[in-house]
Structure 1
């Protein structure tokens, strides 16, 4: 790996954050600064924590810590998406929920890999 951009989890997180951004702009105006803003921040936090962890990859425990933060931000994003799905079913975000669930599994698996195989 030469860059964080070589990580599948980073690329997916980046792509999904862009999708989230577009979806939240379709929310009613009063939600742009409430639910929409919170979801945009948590979805972008996933990719940002992966990048920061990668930047600290020399220190295995720091890398793991930031991957755990990324996973926690993903769970927050899922919670926000589930709320939006209930309130605004017309936005049809089932596919995005499924994508985030799969990304969560990939991040979890990558954390396990780093715990067992990563050389610091």
Structure 2
């Protein structure tokens, strides 16, 4: 008998319904048991898993911020380069450099939306 694929929750894409059920089962078991050591162990397990999930979310956020900053820096550099080329009297080359930069930036956003749409389907 094959297991059903995990159901992904809407608010946290990496957390499945089975994870929530497992965590709830740990907390229910801690509430029902009379042994204080078992209660402490189960609650400690839930806290550790929660901290781990929060650390993963923090790392993902830091990675996204770093990507945004590097993207901003690279676009700014290319536009400064285009301005420098224009100041040398090569307006056509400057327009080409800036145009390629804008097209590349737009393609990143279009590709990102397309991949997000495709992963939902």
Higher relative contact order, chain-length normalized (CA < 8 Å, sep 6+): 1
TM-score class, shorter-chain normalisation, is 0.3 to 0.5
Larger radius of gyration: 2
TM-score (norm 1): 0.37
